[in-house]
Structures are given as C-alpha cells and as structure tokens.
A and B are shown apart, each in its own frame.
Chain A
C-alpha cells in the first residue's frame, strides 16, 4: 500500500499549487446553495403548507445537495484528471516508469479523489449544521456515507475515462447522467412526485441511494433495513468500479 501512497503524494503535491480556487468553491458553494434553495426558495415552500417529508425545506434539501456534491466532485475528479494523466500531462506514464504498478496508480488516485470528496463534504456538513438543518447526531454518519458515494462514482467513472480518446464524452456524461441524477433522484423533491416509471429508474440510480441515505441520517429517521440496502448498493458499485478500473488502466497503459 505504501506504493499507492507515493502516487497519492503526487496528487497532493499537484493540488498544493492549485488549491485556492477549489477550497473557496467547496466552502462557498454550500453556503450559496443552502441560502438560495434552503432559505430563499424555502420561504415559498414552507409558506405553501405542504413541505416534502413534512420538514422545513432547508432540512430536506440540504442532505440532498450534500450527497449530490459528493457525486459531482467524485465524477469530475475522475474525468479530466484521469484522461489528462493519460493523454496530456502523461503523469500516469511517469509513475509507471518507477516501481509503481497499475494498482498503485489506481488506488493512489482513487484515494486522492476520496480525499477531495470527504474534505469538501465535511465543510458542507458543518455549514448545514450551522444553518440548523441537522436534526440528529446520526448526521455525523453522513460523512462516511459521502465517502462511499464518492468512491461509488469515482471508481466506475475513472474506469470509463481510461478508455477514452478525448474529452467530448465527459460533457455528454455530465449532461445526460450527472445533471439528471442531480435533479431527479430526490435531491430537491421526493421521488414520489415522479411518474411511476421514472420512479423505478430513480431507484436504480446510485445518487438516489446516496441522497436517501444522507437524508435519513441528518433527519434522524433511519430505516436500518433500507440503509443496509443503500450501503450495499453503493459499496458494490465502488468495488465493481475498482475492478474495472484496474482492468481498463492496465489495458490502456501497458499496451
């Protein structure tokens, strides 16, 4: 594992030069989202009488956006940086020229992506708490949940990125997968509002499992049976993604 740490260290060093922008983003974005949707839009929702899940809107939307953020950071970190390390900066090849092996490259980079996800989500969770939108001490567990969501997205995405020739597919993935998941898997309104067919589609998305898990934790309304399903689903996705990533990385880098 110490070899994977060396690869991790590369990403950490790289990030040191460029951290300002993303730190600002990861602190300010949650404040913006919670301010606009939780408070601004929340005013309208709370006034209308019926709120989703019967809680004030900010408490409903905040964990949803938290899970969605984990998803978005994870997918983005597994897109351009991965393809770039193969095609443009060729950083992976530089690592391969050392004693590092494919698995160290994969795990090191995945660990780095998880770091980005967890650190941003930790800030986010703190902001949610400051807004008074965490209703249960179980909310702390939302952080490991975000870690799980992150890997469930970053591993399969990295596996896919390693097969690409150019970045055109990323925009399509963002627009037809990431954004629809962001908008329709229970982040802003319960999926019970979706037509029957779409609801079943939503049940299949990892983002819904993530959102529902996080929300049940911060609201303190955990159905442990369902929670196990969520965790198992996300974990299965993460492990499958890692297995595939090992394979696609090897095929791409060792040919």
Chain B
C-alpha cells in the first residue's frame, strides 16, 4: 500500500499554491481592501466622527476603533471568498471528482481547502497589522496575538463558507451569501460601538460570529483583554468546527453518491 506521511490534504494545499502563482496580483491586491477602508472611514470620515469609546469606555480615535474590525472582516471575507472558489472547483472544474478518485476522502478536501484559506488569511493579517502599527493604531503588545486570532477567525468562516458553497446551485445563489455577509459587516459593531443599539439589539449582535471576531481582535489590539475574549475564542472554535464538519458531510454527499 502507498504510505502517506503528511496529512493528505497537504497535496491539495500545494495544488492551490501552484494554481495561484499566476494570480499573484489578485492575492496581493487583497491586502489593499481593508487598508482603503481604514483610510476612507477611519481617517476621512473619522474627522466628522471624533473620538469614540473603546471596549473599556476610554475615548480613542475612530481609526483605532475600526482598524481591528477591518482586520476581522478581512479575515472573514478572505475565508468566504476562498470558499466561493470551492463552489467553482466543485461544480465547473470537477476538481474534487478527480481528487476523490485518489486515496483522498472528503475530510481531506475540507482540511486541504480550509488550510489554504487560513494561509492566505494569515498573509493578509500580517500585512495589515504591520501597516496599522506603522500608522499608530496599535496600542498594546497584546496585538501580536491578533495574528493567531485572525487565523482563528479565518478558520471559523472557512469551514462555514465551504459548507455554504456546497448548497449553492448557481452563481446567482451567491447573492444570498451577500445577504448574510453584508449585514454582518455593517452591524457587528464594526463602525460604531454596540452602545448605539437598544438593549435587545445588543444581545442579538453579541450572538453573531463576526461580532465575536471583532470583539476578540479589538480587545487584543487595544490592549483591553479579559475573560470575555475567551468566550469569543470558544465561540469561534465551535463555529468553525461545526462548519468543517458540515463541509465534510456535504462534499461527501454531493460527490460520493
């Protein structure tokens, strides 16, 4: 029998890395999106917003407030973007049909694709965090932990994203994904503190995955760290694990019938 030393999904990771070599500009450009948002909203609009209360009530600049949220959102969007490529690979390129005719199984596909999404997310997080700290919006050494945190956020959404992609029938269905993604982006205390909302709405927002991601990274980057971040971590771990599980099942169900 063939011996398989590495996790078998590793071959899929290598495949993605090779496939993206010619798309360097696309990967590279991904970094600019959060930066543009930071400059536009944080700096341009920030003038009109003034200081806002941070997680512990201390007043901070608007750019420092939204920078962590943009990092979290970038991690989410990156993971979801990659999962839309899973849809393409599955439906049009029939990539997994060939993968599954080798010793690899659905779980290897889920692991391989997720780890690729995470790797890209990590690259973006490093670039963004470096830029933000140069611009002076990092306020604590805890911010180093924002990197693994961004990775965790990527994991949380990658699994769910791939799972979601397996339910898509056509490209048009991705509009429905947008219907989930956009409100999360806009309403998860990204651009203004939770305190703007009435009490019941605050509870609802606290339950969303992106809010937990933002809360975690904001706490780390601003140096306001407490047990609540632990709750965020557990939430994201669980969310991601469920996603990967669903993704594995769906890939199996769709392709191994």
Contact of B167 with A by CB under 8 A: no
Q: Mark A8-40, 1 if CB is under 8 A from B, else 0.
A: 000000000010011011001100110111001
- With contacts A44-B196, A172-B29, A184-B40 taken as known, whether A24 is within 8 angstroms of B47 at the C-beta atoms is no
Question: What does the 1/0 interface line of B91-111 toward A look like (CB < 8 Å)?
Answer: 000000000000000000000
A5 contacts chain B at the CB level, 8 A cutoff: no
Q: Does A253 contact B (CB under 8 A)?
A: no
Query: Are B25 and A43 neighbours in the complex by a CB distance under 8 Å?
Result: no
Q: Is there an interface contact between B23 and A168, defined as CB atoms closer than 8 Å?
A: yes
Which stretch from A46-54, A106-114, A148-156, A236-244 is at the chain B interface? A46-54
Q: Once the chains bind, are A48 and B186 in contact (CB under 8 Å)?
A: no
Total contacts A to B, CB within 8 angstroms? 102
B residues less than 8 Å from A179 (CB atoms): 33, 36
Cα distance A41–B26 in the bound complex, in angstroms: 31
Name the residue of chain A whose CB is nearest to the CB of B92.
A88
Q: What chain B residues lie within 8 Å of A184 (beta carbons)?
A: 36, 39-40, 44
- Residue A188 contacts which of B25, B29, B45 (CB distance < 8 angstroms)? B45
Interface string of B14-46 (1 = CB under 8 A from A): 000000000101100110110011011100110
B29-A189 in contact (CB<8A): no
B58 partner residues in chain A, CB cutoff 8 A: none
Of B128-136, B156-164, B176-184, the one touching chain A: B176-184
Determine whether the beta carbon of A18 is less than 8 Å from that of B172. yes
Q: In the assembled complex, how far is the CB of residue B193 from the closest CB belonging to chain A, in whole angstroms?
A: 8
Contact A52/B173 with A29-B182, A172-B25 known, Cβ cut-off 8 Å: no
Known contacts A43-B196, A168-B25, A189-B44; is A21 also within 8 Å of B175 by CB? Answer: yes
Instruction: Determine how close the nearest CB of chain B comes to the CB of A198; give it in whole angstroms.
Output: 10
A80 to B41, CA, bound (A): 29
Kindly provide the distance from the CB of A253 to the nearest chain B CB, expressed in whole angstroms: 23
Give the residues in chain A near B36, CB-CB below 8 Å: 179-180, 183-184
| B contact residues around A24 at 8 Å (CB) | 175-176, 179
Residue of B nearest to A43 (CB): B196
Q: Which residues of B contact A52 (CB under 8 A)?
A: 48
Residues of B within 8 A of A49 (CB): 50
Collect the chain B residues with CB atoms within 8 Å of residue A36's CB: 183, 186-187, 191
Q: Give the complex CA separation of A43 and B29 in angstroms.
A: 33
Output the least CB separation between A88 and chain B (Å).
Answer: 9
- A171 adjacent to B187 (CB under 8 Å): no
B49 within 8 A of A: yes
On whether the beta carbons of A44 and B52 are closer than 8 Å, the reply is yes
B192 contacts partner chain A, Cβ-Cβ < 8 Å: yes
Q: Which residues of A contact B192 (CB under 8 A)?
A: 40-41, 43-44
Q: Is A193 an interface residue (CB 8 A)?
A: yes
**Residue A176 at the B interface, CB < 8 A?**
yes
Residues of B within 8 A of A37 (CB): 186, 191
Shortest beta-carbon distance, A224 to chain B, in Å? 28
> Taking the complex as formed, is B170 at the interface, i.e. its CB lies under 8 A from any CB of chain A?
yes
Closest Cβ of chain B: how far from A18's Cβ, in Å? Answer: 4
The residue that A194 contacts in the complex, of B44, B50, B179, with Cβ under 8 A, is: B44
**A51 contact set on B, CB distance < 8 A:** 48
Asked if A168 and B26 sit within 8 Å, CB to CB, the answer is yes
Residue of A nearest to B32 (CB): A175
Closest to B27 in A: A171
Q: Tell me the smallest distance from the CB of B102 to a CB of chain A, in Å.
A: 27
Closest B residue, CB atoms, query A185: B40
- Cα(A35)–Cα(B187), bound, Å: 9
In the complex, A231 has a CB within 8 A of chain B: no
Give every chain B residue within 8 A of A22 (Cβ-Cβ).
172, 175
**Cα(A41)–Cα(B197), bound, Å:** 11
- Chain B, residues 184-208, CB within 8 Å of chain A (1/0): the string is 0011000110001100000000000
List A contacts of B49 (CB < 8 A).
41, 44-45, 48
CA distance A44 to B194 in the complex (A): 12
Q: Which 10 A-B pairs have CB atoms at the shortest separation, nearest pair first?
A: A21-B175, A36-B186, A183-B40, A18-B172, A48-B50, A175-B29, A189-B44, A189-B45, A25-B175, A21-B172
Cβ contacts A to B, 14 pairs, < 8 Å: A21-B175, A21-B179, A22-B172, A25-B179, A32-B186, A40-B196, A41-B191, A43-B196, A49-B50, A175-B30, A179-B36, A184-B36, A184-B40, A193-B44
What 14 additional pairs, Cβ within 8 angstroms, besides A24-B179, A51-B48, A175-B30?
A18-B170, A25-B178, A36-B186, A40-B187, A40-B191, A44-B50, A44-B52, A48-B49, A49-B50, A168-B25, A175-B29, A175-B32, A180-B36, A189-B44
